[in-house]
Amino acid sequence: MKFVDEARITVQAGKGGNGCLSFRREKFVPKGGPDGGDGGDGGSVFLEASESINTLIDYRYTRHYQAQNGEGGSSRNCTGAKGEDLVLEVPVGTTAIDEDTGETLGDITEPGQRLMIARGGFHGLGNTRYKSSTNQAPTQTKPGQPGESRNIKLELKVLADVGLLGLPNAGKSTFIRAVSAAKPKVADYPFTTLIPNLGVVKIENHRSFVVADIPGLIPGASDGAGLGTRFLKHLVRTHLLLHIVDMAPFDDTDPAEAVQAIADELEQFSPGLAQRDRWLVLNKLDMVPEDEREARCQDVISRLQWTGPVFKIAAINKEGTYPLCGEIMQYIEERRRRAEEDEEFAERILAEREQVEQEAREHIEMLSERRRQLRELEQDDDDDDDYDVEVIYTRE
């Protein structure tokens, strides 16, 4: 199935039913009085998280959705039926944004969670509502109100505790295969990973975390090169970044320069994301001569002036992966415990995530606008190249 992580839809909530103007008319009842009933409320539009879907592809083909209108009231004080709500299923991790105002309507982060994105119109009032001692035969009614109409942008961000960074062929997919049951494609050429992959790493009973493997980054990714810009936003909700480094590149790429290149792209994409906790994972050490391993690793660490955690692994044979996963689990549990006990820390985490989401959104919109301007310039150039040829026939 094609992975779609963005979609734009238009939703229209139902209109409220009109109130009824009616008077009771029965044989032998000369003073029946007003009996017009109220209308029914219009149906609202909801998003609901479902674990059975993992992409927004359905919303690429059907873009307009309308909830049912409420029915009008009727005589004998009968209230009109309420319009049926419209529930749209979306993957867990979906964010709804009002495109016209830029307002974030909400995040859907748990299965079964519902989010109202368009409220149905309020019902109209029948003339019974207006009767009084001084107005015993009211002819006033109130029509139902229209439902909300919104242009909604749906954004899907995978929900993971740990995100993997690195150049293509750094061994990210091999790592996720080694530590979880996920089986992403692995091959000896770049960009074998085209969509994010999730893997659940189980340490022991009731202790596990989720790892997200996104397509490899290349220099220029923050400007739209490769696949990085599109999928970097999936790292927004992670707690920790693992920077996977190929210590035995087939093209003799300098590992230290590769790390710095990715760090620069991360900074340009989102300064907030670049400040997130990041661990250095030196991979493919099984392909480095044993007597050279320590020297190579130390050279990379010293040139980067790296002061954070460093792990040395060979993902293909799981060497060093178990201690790494244990450290990750301990880090995540400590972070969760602190967030539960320290309200200020929890608020700071939420603020940081919102900042990164905003930076990522603004960066992607900036790139989209730049591409649009380039297309317009190319179109103008094509128009300038067009010319008319006037053919004049003469008779000799």
Per-residue CA distances from 98 to 105, 154, 155 (Å):
7, 9, 11
| 162-360 matches 6-156 in CATH topology | no
Q: What's the whole-model pTM score? A: 0.69
**Which tokens belong to 134?**
């001084």
Residue 11, phi then psi, degrees to nearest 5: -120, 145
Residue 30 exposed, middle or buried by CB count within 10 Å (0-12, 13-18, 19+): exposed
The C-alpha atoms of residue 53 and residue 58 are separated, in whole angstroms, by 10
Res 248: pLDDT: 87
**Which tokens belong to 88?**
């749209």
Cβ count within 10 A of residue 40: 26
Residue 344: which H helix or E strand, with range? helix 343-385
Task: Give tens-digit pLDDT for 204-227.
Answer: 877 888 888 877 565 555 555 545
The CATH number of domain 162-360, selected from 3.50.50.60, 3.40.190.10, 3.40.50.300, 3.10.20.740: 3.40.50.300
**Which tokens belong to 33?**
């009085």
Res 294: pLDDT: 92
**For 6-156, CATH number?**
2.70.210.12
**No. of helices (H) and no. of strands (E), the chain:** 8, 14
The C-alpha atoms of residue 208 and residue 379 are separated, in whole angstroms, by 53
Q: Could you give the 3-state DSSP secondary structure of residue 375?
A: helix
One DSSP character per residue, 249-275 reads -TT---HHHHHHHHHHHHHHH-HHHHT
Is the torsion defined by CA of 246, 331, 178, 231 positive or negative?
negative
The C-alpha atoms of residue 334 and residue 109 are separated, in whole angstroms, by 21
DSSP 134: S
Per-residue pLDDT of the chain (396 residues; tens, 9 = 90+): 345 578 899 999 999 999 999 998 877 777 778 999 999 999 999 999 988 777 788 888 889 999 999 999 998 899 999 999 999 999 888 889 998 888 889 888 888 999 999 999 999 999 999 998 888 889 999 999 999 999 999 988 777 889 888 888 788 888 888 888 766 655 454 455 556 777 888 888 778 888 888 775 655 555 555 455 566 777 777 889 999 999 988 777 888 988 888 888 888 888 888 888 999 999 999 998 888 899 999 999 999 999 889 999 998 899 999 999 999 999 999 998 998 898 898 898 888 888 887 887 777 777 777 777 877 777 766 655 554 444 444 444
Domain spans in the chain, listed from the N-terminal domain onward: 6-156, 162-360
The C-alpha atoms of residue 305 and residue 299 are separated, in whole angstroms, by 10
One DSSP character per residue, 156-224 reads E----SEEEE-STTSSHHHHHHHHSS------SSS----S-EEEEEEEETTEEEEEEEPPPP-TTGGGT
Res 189: pLDDT: 45
